[in-house]
Amino acid sequence: MTATEAVDAARARDAGAYRPAVERLATVDRAGLVLGGVVRLLLEEGHPDGLDGDDVRQVLERCVRAAATWWPEVDPHVLLVLLAGALGVYDPGDDDDPPDPAAVARHAPLLVADLLAVTDRPFADYLSAAFAEVARTELHD
């Protein structure tokens, strides 16, 4: 699976494997939606009492610092948009320069890999839950 390959490459900090994986991920419909769901689930699990601004800043800083050591193309703005989107507080219509799907595909696995580092559950569990959530949402729309 493309998302799994991208997240695995991010977790391994393998830029050679990451680039083609995120390029494939960018061609998958709903990739950003599903990985956004994974991010939301990870944030909820990692912060059961909710997140405040300091928590968001810590997640963002930790992810940028970790990714920059092996993926210098990391863009903090895109990661912040992904975090805000996962939390339901981002409206692309309010953004003068929203990230394109390719930028989302290049950054979502970085955020997922960073958040997975603090959990003991496998990525597949979160991915399955996110797919189920997307399916439920589409069924009710």
pLDDT tens digits, residue range 49-87?
A: 988 999 999 999 999 999 999 999 999 999 999 999 998
Task: State the residue range of the domain holding 76.
Answer: 2-140
Question: Does the predicted model carry a pTM greater than 0.85?
Answer: yes
Nearest to 103 by CA among 71, 83, 79: 79
H-only helix segments in the chain: 2-12, 15-25, 31-46, 53-68, 76-86, 101-116, 123-140
Please write the tens of the pLDDT for every residue from 24-56: 999 986 777 889 899 999 999 999 898 899 999
Residue 77 and residue 30: Cα distance in Å, rounded? 21
What is the pLDDT at residue 90?
A: 79
Could you give the number of structural domains in the chain?
1
